[in-house]
Amino acid sequence: MVVLHVSKACQSCRWAREELEGLGVQSQVLEDSPTPLDIPPHAMADDDQLFLGHQQIAGHLEEMRRSVAEWTSFQSDTCYCSETADIESTGCRPW
């Protein structure tokens, strides 16, 4: 799960929060909350990775956006039933 540590007054943090929420991945946003001693404000933890500062957060959000786009590009309700891979609707019968 992605955990984003942000400051309420920070415009870049607001942008990062909106971007993260727009991705539709499981996440938690901690706003102006105390962080563990080794995590400064303006940080994002993604499983075992830690991204510090706005630039690293923005870079990781872009990487996540590409991953989500690739994942969703393969999600479809079509099936390929013909030998020529012509797209047919769901519920098609085997050739």
* Average pLDDT taken over every residue of the chain: 81
User: Residues with Cβ < 8 Å from 35, sequence gap 6 or more?
Assistant: 5, 41, 43
Mean pLDDT of 45-59: 93
Mean pLDDT of 17-31: 92
Strand pairing partners for 45? 3, 50
Mean pLDDT of 67-77: 77
- Determine whether domain 2-79 maps to CATH 3.40.50.10860: no
